[in-house]
Each structure stands twice: as structure tokens, then as C-alpha cells.
């Protein structure tokens, strides 16, 4: 790779399941933005119904390819107390 070439960015869609049915999803969105590793940016966050009143967040981030996979992002979001589980749904190079 030449010195002036930039690594490709990667678009990642994550499904973030809250710990409790009454978790404040707007507050959770703010916490997610605060914990993301350097170089990772939010592209879009939407709420999605799961079942029986439970909602999850669909979080789409753009991250540099040289971050070494999605683990740093998953670990950061999983560290939030109100998060039960993080699932990677889509990974695509841009």
C-alpha cells in the first residue's frame, strides 16, 4: 500500500439489547456515543420492537478497517451497565 492511501472504512450494524424493558433508550444512545473507541462514528441509531414491549437499538457505526474487527466496538458498548447483549448484524466495507 502506498503511503498516501487510506484504509477502507467499514460500516457495522449492531443490535443492542437493553438489560430491562423500561431502560431509557434515549439515555442509552447517549452512553453508546460516549464509549465508542476513537475513530468510530455513529452513522444512525434507530429503535426496533423486539417482543412484549421490549425494544432494542439498531446502531450503525462507521469505523476504520485498521481497528482490527468489531471487537473493540462490541466491548465498549457491552461495558454499559444497561446493555444486556450486543449482536453484530452486518459488516460491510465502504
Lookup: cell for 93: 466495507
CA distance 78 to 2: 36
3-class secondary-structure state, position 7: coil
Lookup: cell for 44: 444512525
Per-residue pLDDT of the chain (94 residues; tens, 9 = 90+): 454 456 789 999 999 999 999 999 999 999 999 999 999 999 999 999 998 889 999 999 999 988 888 999 999 999 999 999 999 999 999 8
3-class secondary-structure state, position 72: helix
What residue ranges define each of the domains in the chain, with the CATH number in brackets? 19-93 (3.30.70.60)
What is the reported pTM?
0.89
Amino acid at each position: 500500500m502506498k503511503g498516501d492511501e487510506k484504509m477502507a472504512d467499514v460500516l457495522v450494524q449492531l443490535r443492542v439489547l437493553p438489560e430491562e424493558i423500561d431502560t431509557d433508550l434515549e439515555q442509552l444512545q447517549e452512553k453508546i456515543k460516549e464509549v465508542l473507541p476513537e475513530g468510530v462514528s455513529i452513522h444512525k441509531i434507530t429503535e426496533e420492537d423486539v417482543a412484549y414491549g421490549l425494544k432494542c437499538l439498531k446502531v450503525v457505526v462507521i469505523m476504520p478497517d485498521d481497528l482490527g474487527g468489531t471487537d473493540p466496538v462490541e466491548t465498549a458498548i457491552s461495558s454499559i451497565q444497561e446493555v444486556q447483549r450486543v449482536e453484530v448484524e452486518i459488516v460491510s466495507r465502504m
